Structure 1
């Protein structure tokens, strides 16, 4: 079964590890935190970093890539050299990303939306999101059932996890790719009223609320209602703003939307919130 370790989530830095519980291998999604925080929080979650097989980058903003170089160099000293994947546009736009992979003598591998990346014993599928970056992506992680014999039936998913943050709206592609996941990491960035009445300059407020900004609590709730199904067990509210939200509001908004739209399914879905300053594990 899959596990999600959210080491940090928010505007000051993001990093999460998707663990293949069967093999102990993992895929790091973004690295916008310092080495000490990364190492300490991975240890707190019980993830053995010797099993870190790959890093995938959602987009080029600093809170998602600024810690990658120092973390990669620290891992390399311990003999761990995960492959790094990003889109061509993100790689071209981010000097910190290029410097990070060059500093450990590797090259960044390029992906595009719709690819199927075999990482850590998982099938990782990137899909485009809508954000004010050079390009931005979410991911679906599938743990396939191994084939019993050569030439047997195609692999099917034994478990699936969806990961979508930093998007101004839920695209049709995102909704389609994320259908049927058991675990869902879903952006719930801001409360509309808090953003409107808060201290940010008006252009920043416009950016956050735009189609190339971030999902609000209500947008996340609508997305969750569309994605809920009998196999959904947990949703994690991600990238929660410390200025324009609280850690209580996303959970309450998502739980209320589930209860109103799917009263029969709501009790089976655990709603958790990811934090900026401490790790959370969902399995």
Structure 2
């Protein structure tokens, strides 16, 4: 059975851990936070970071990779040396941002590959974002499934299939349209965020959740919520309204920028 530890989620930094509850082993998704924030987040949600057996990277933007180097060096001092998986284009684009050392075990993946680690399999799928290559992941283990998708302007049919039938779902709900319009961003930034290669808004996330509701779904987390163009309450209510309208029993949480949460 999976648990999702959302250590940080938002434009200032992202890091989440998918844990196999039976073994305590896990896979880190992105690390755009400091080593201190990472360690404190793990402690707050009850995950032992020495149990990490892989790191996977969604894309190369700083809020997803800037802490990779320092955190992986910290893990190495603990005797934990997980391989890092990323798309080849992402690795090249992120080296200066993430401070990756040449002695790290860096491996590449492509769309459709399977990554085996911590007793689970991770299946990357393409997302639509303005990066060299961006991905979400479906995790599977012993009949359990978890879907994770942020930083995408649209949800493709392939992504929707990958997110279907999961028990735990982490789904982006980045902004509210009116709040984005009123935010103190330059016009080009607003256009980027709202584009098909930007971020899902609350309404889009709610529409996708409606399509993804299944008998297996137990827990949903709204992720990558903007602190400037959204509120945590608005993001949660957008998804909760779908669950309530459909008479579904799934719980709905929201991932915070500075407060870790445990999902599942």
TM-score interval (norm. to shorter): over 0.9
Q: Which consecutive aligned stretches of 4+ in structure 1 deviate over 6 angstroms post-superposition?
A: none
Partner residue in 1 for 2:120: 122
Give distance in 1, aligned partners of 2:74 and 2:168: 30
Could you tell me whether the CA contact under 8 Å between 2:55 and 2:82 is conserved in 1? Answer: yes
SS of residue in 2 equivalent to 1:94? helix
After TM superposition, the score normalised by the length of structure 2 is 0.98
Could you tell me whether the CA contact under 8 Å between 2:60 and 2:132 is conserved in 1? Answer: yes
Q: Deviations over 1:44-101 (max 9, x none)?
A: 1111111100000000000000001110111111111011000011112122367414
Q: Deviations over 1:220-271 (max 9, x none)?
A: 00000000011100100000000000010011111112333x22xx2x1100
Matches within 5 A, 1:28-39: 28-39=28-39
Partner residue in 2 for 1:258: 243
SS of residue in 2 equivalent to 1:212? coil
Partner residue in 2 for 1:269: 250
Deviation at 1:175, TM superposition (A): 0.3
Could you tell me whether the CA contact under 8 Å between 2:68 and 2:99 is conserved in 1? Answer: no
Larger radius of gyration: 1
Could you tell me whether the CA contact under 8 Å between 1:166 and 1:215 is conserved in 2? Answer: yes
Partner residue in 2 for 1:131: 129
Matches within 5 A, 1:44-193: 44-96=44-96, 99-102=99-102, 105-144=103-142, 158-193=143-178
Q: Report the number of matched residues.
A: 264
Deviation at 1:119, TM superposition (A): 1.1
Q: Which runs of 5+ in 1 are unaligned?
A: 145-157
Could you tell me whether the CA contact under 8 Å between 1:165 and 1:239 is conserved in 2? Answer: yes
Partner residue in 2 for 1:149: none
Q: Deviations over 1:173-232 (max 9, x none)?
A: 110111100000000000000001221111000000000000000000000000001110
Give distance in 2, aligned partners of 1:206 and 1:93: 23
Give distance in 2, aligned partners of 1:96 and 1:258: 42
Partner residue in 1 for 2:263: 282
Give distance in 1, aligned partners of 2:64 and 2:117: 20
Whether 2:226 is the aligned partner of 1:241: answer yes
Give distance in 2, aligned partners of 1:197 and 1:275: 22
Give distance in 2, aligned partners of 1:257 and 1:199: 30
Q: Which runs of 5+ in 2 are unaligned?
A: none
Give distance in 1, aligned partners of 2:38 and 2:94: 21
After TM superposition, the score normalised by the length of structure 1 is 0.91
Could you tell me whether the CA contact under 8 Å between 1:101 and 1:108 is conserved in 2? Answer: no
RMSD: 1.1
Could you tell me whether the CA contact under 8 Å between 1:98 and 1:108 is conserved in 2? Answer: no
Give distance in 1, aligned partners of 2:139 and 2:202: 24
SS of residue in 2 equivalent to 1:100? coil
Partner residue in 1 for 2:27: 27
